[in-house]
Amino acid sequence: MSSCDEECCHGDGRDTPLTEMYGSNAFSNAMMRERLPVNIYREVVAVQNGEKELSPQVADVVATAMRDWAVEKGATHYTHWFHPLTGLTAEKHDAFISPTGDGRILLEFSGKELIKGEPDASSFPSGGLRATFEARGYTAWDVTSPAFLKQDKTGVTLCIPTAFISYYGHALDKKVPLLKSIDALSKQAIRVLRALGNETSKRVFPTVGPEQEYFLVEKEFYDRRPDLMLTGRTVFGALPAKGQELEDHYFGAIKERVADFMRELNYELWKVGIPAKTQHNEVAPNQFEIAPIYSNSSTAVDANQLVMETLHSVASRHGLEALIHEKPFAGVNGSGKHNNWSVSTDDGVNLFDPGENPESNARFLLFATAVVEAVDRYALLLRSSAATAANEFRLGANEAPPAIISIFFGGALTEIFDNIAEGKSSGKSAANSQIKIGVTSLPALPKDVSDRNRTSPFAFTGNKFEFRMVGSSQSIATPNTYLNVALAEVLSGYADKLEALPAGSGKNEAIQSIIRESYKAHKKVVFNGNGYAEEWLREAERRGLPNIKSAPDALQVLSRSETIALFERHGVFSREECESRCHIYLEKYSKQVNIEAGVTIDLVQRYIFPVATSAAASFAGDAAALASVGANNTAPAKRAKKIADISGELYDETAKLEAVLAEAQALEEPFAQAKAYAGKVKPAMEAVRLRADALEKIVPKNEWPFPGYEELLFKL
Ligand code: ADP
Ligand code: MG
């Protein structure tokens, strides 16, 4: 690919060989190894591994190298890129320039500027953690996630992933708790590994591969849907005669227009070092998925934020709009984000990999049991990590996955656990002969057991767990933080027991007994059946598993003393931080529903009523005209009446919505307010929608004020 005629030059790097282009816009470890003196590079790696603090001298050298690299690539500005509690990413740009005093400039970027920024924090949610007079917030470089260049028509900016904290050191973002949870998990997992006889691993780190779902719609249609623009979803829309029932979209041939979009999306992601790997059509019409190869979780969290941003920017260059909302369209599938999660040691052992010998089998069974216990004990917390207004349309509605947390292991593995727990051997199958930890080799487990159950919210898929409740538009930082802490807590209990064993006493027996006791106590959370079936709801209830449908109820767990104690014990959140987050999430829920209700009312008043009234009048006029010539056609009169009748109902329901909305707005206590939005405002919106959608079905198509579902879902 040395020469290149004009046609192949896309100007986006597509004419460069892939291996050269990949990561060219990321200041990755490979780039640092190339550009930093070897001793400095080693220092940075030690800081990444949590072995050292970053010294100002090292920071200065890294900053200079980073600046030179960025400027060579055309950057004029840098920004500390962070994740405030809005769930989005934030950036404040500074130019590299520094005046020399004689009318010229130098390009400057010091270690201090790399390590620490001072954006005004007062306009970000803090949940009362920051008094208004103390607006200061600080961003601090997250050495574990590579800096990258954002490149668009307007120029190039160096983006430095950072953590965001208040003047008093409270976390104001989603990154700080994530990093703390990784440390907590590492600490406890290493204790367990040491007790198992591992002397070599120094750290463990969670790995994450998120599968991102999204819809694409024609920009032209999007621009004519104020509801999509303001809320990310359609608050109205009658289902067309065809939905997803033919199952013809999932894994279907990708249309050229979409393929072209996906190709550019991949290139943009590859340039910043995001290993976008898999893409396909999803279940609903115009729904798609992109999945990168997994990486350590702090990088994966940042990368996923960038994937979402890039989806939007590339779509707009293709005359499209990417919808990342969890439920843009009623009546067809919503979008989630399967959070594939595992835990690895720094010397390359995946702790959720069953392995091939009795020793690795024992380790796997112990860590997998710990996950069962963690998921059972912290089911409410995990449920709360996916509790947003948008995701509420998926969880607990008639849609995947259910709001009940359960784990899927598949038959073979479940049999093995049951067998260990009961200490029995029926001899029916290999898995059923008695397993002796540290002695028996596990039978080979079929890897493809995993995907046979798409209905489980938490599925073991061969060597990782897939948490499927997470919503498509959410940051994955919080779900991963909770997973890490929950597992850390269980492992610390295991480590206490193992460390208390007298030297030389039966380690394998101790492990066997931990697995047996823990699995017995928590196996109620293991469920291999159909998570969508009615009978599962009853069975789950019988097992005592919580089924929390509403997001505000799910968020309450954050204010419970045992949750706060858990976070405090592992140094992830203080009481204030935990309580403030509960506040922020509840408020965010209320604000979101409030906006949707406002948009609903607005669209009814300003768009739907006028159209429906004139359609009814026009049919009535037709009826009169036909009657005047003695025609025997009552259809126009019937249609006029039907439209007018439904319009009347629409008017009444809208008035009711206005009333309950005003009541909810008047409430001050965040939980009570969110409950009012969930329990009163949302059903009132539904009642309005029912009438509006009925009107859409009978008002002449060319008079309806919005593009319909058939355009949004089927045209591309
Ligand atoms: P599926 O879930 O559809 O079967 P894959 O098994 O290929 O698909 O994986 C889906 C995602 O899981 C990918 O992003 C992949 O990189 C990620 N993944 C694979 N192994 C791990 C792991 N050990 N830790 C975290 N994520 C992983
Ligand atoms: Mg998957």
Ligand 1 pocket, mutate which of 294, 341, 449 (most atoms under 8 A from CB)? 294
Please tell me the distance between residue 495's alpha carbon and the centre of ligand 2 in angstroms. Answer: 31
> For ligand 1, atom 16, which residue shows the shortest CA distance?
293
Q: Structural domain boundaries of the chain?
A: 8-173, 182-573, 589-714
What pTM value is reported for the model? Answer: 0.93
Helix (H) or strand (E) holding 658: helix 635-666
Residues 602 and 607: their CA atoms lie apart, in Å, by 8
Task: Please name which ligand lies nearest the alpha carbon of 337.
Answer: 2
Cβ contacts of 455 within 8 Å, gap of 6 or more: 400, 401, 402, 530, 531, 532
What per-residue string of b and e applies to 613-643 under the rule 16 or more CB within 10 Å gives b? eebbebbbebbeebeeeeeeeeebbebbeeb
List Cα–Cα distances, 75 to 146, 152, 267, in angstroms: 16, 11, 19
Of ligand 1's listed atoms, the one at least distance from the Cα of 463 is 23
**What values do phi and psi take at 300, rounded to 5?**
-65, -40
* Residue 713 Cα to ligand 1 middle (Å): 28
Calculate how far, in angstroms, residue 451's C-alpha sits from the geometric centre of ligand 2: 7
Which residues on adjacent β-strands are paired with residue 703? none
Cβ count within 10 A of residue 11: 6
Choose among 225, 224, 195: nearest CA to 507. Answer: 195
- Give pLDDT, residue 488: 98
Give the type of residue at 92.
K
Position in ligand 1 atom list of the atom nearest CA 466: 2
Atom of ligand 1 minimally distant from the CA of 450: 4
Q: Each residue of 88-120: pLDDT tens digit?
A: 888 888 889 888 888 898 888 888 888 887 776
The residue ranges of the chain whose pLDDT is under 70 are 1-14, 120-121, 128-136, 396-400, 424-433, 445-452
Which of 464, 467, 468, 484 for a ligand 1 pocket mutation test, highest count of atoms within 8 Å of Cβ? 464
Q: Which atom of ligand 1 has the smallest separation from the CA of 350?
A: 23
Q: What amino acid is encoded at 142 in this protein?
A: D
Task: Tell me the per-residue pLDDT of 258-301, one tens digit each, with 9 for 90 and over.
Answer: 999 999 999 999 999 999 998 888 888 999 999 999 999 999 99
Mutate to test the pocket of ligand 1, among 280, 301, 340 (most ligand atoms within 8 A of CB): 340
C-alpha atoms less than 13 angstroms from C-alpha of 492 in its C-beta half-sphere: 14
The DSSP code sequence of 389-438 is TTGGGTTTSSSSSPSB--EE--HHHHHHHHHHHHT----SSGGGSPP-TT
**Interval between CA 325 and ligand 2 midpoint (Å):** 19
CATH class for the domain made up of 8-173 = alpha beta
Whole-number Å distance, alpha carbon 278 to ligand 1 midpoint, is 10
The pLDDT of residue 6 is 39
The domain 589-714 is placed in CATH, from the list 2.30.40.10, 1.20.1250.20, 1.20.120.1560, 1.10.580.10, at: 1.20.120.1560
Atom 1 (ligand 1) nearest CA: 451
Residues within a 6 A CB radius of ligand 1: 207-209, 211, 291-294, 340-342, 350, 451, 461, 463-464, 466
Residue with tokens 């009312």: 601
Are 554 and 472 a contacting pair, CB within 8 Å? no
Q: Helices (DSSP H) in 272-357: which residue ranges? A: 297-317
| 450 alpha carbon – ligand 2 mean position (Å) | 9
Q: Which residues of 449-479 are buried (b: 16+ CB within 10 A; e: fewer)?
A: bbeebbbbbbbbbbbbbbbbbbbbbbbbbbb
Q: What is the DSSP letter of 500?
A: T
Alpha helices in 126-255 (DSSP H): 175-195, 219-222, 226-231
Transcribe 100-154 into DSSP letters: -SSS-EEE---HHHHHEE--B-TTS--TTSS-TT--BEEEEE-TTS-EEEEEETT
Q: Whose CA is nearest to atom 11 of ligand 1?
A: 209
Classified as helix, coil or strand, 360 is helix
Determine the angle formed by the axes of helices 575-603 and 635-666, rounding to 10 degrees: 150
Cα 338 to averaged position of ligand 2 atoms, centre (Å): 6
List, as own/partner pairs, every contact residues 345-352 make where C-beta atoms lie below 8 angstroms and the sequence separation is at least 24, other chains included: 345/193, 345/198, 345/201, 345/203, 345/204, 346/49, 346/201, 346/202, 346/203, 346/204, 346/205, 347/200, 347/201, 347/202, 349/201, 350/207, 350/463, 350/464, 351/189, 351/204, 352/460, 352/463, 352/464, 352/465
Closest residue by Cα to atom 14, ligand 1, is 209
CA–centroid distance, residue 46 to ligand 1 (Å) = 28
Pick the atom of ligand 1 nearest to 294's CA.
16
Centre of ligand 2 to C-alpha 339, Å, is: 8
- CATH 3.30.590.10 assigned to 182-573: yes
What pLDDT, on the 0 to 100 scale, is given for residue 181?
97
- Note whether 417 and 526 are within 8 A (CB): yes
> Which residue, judged by its Cα, is nearest atom 3 of ligand 1?
451
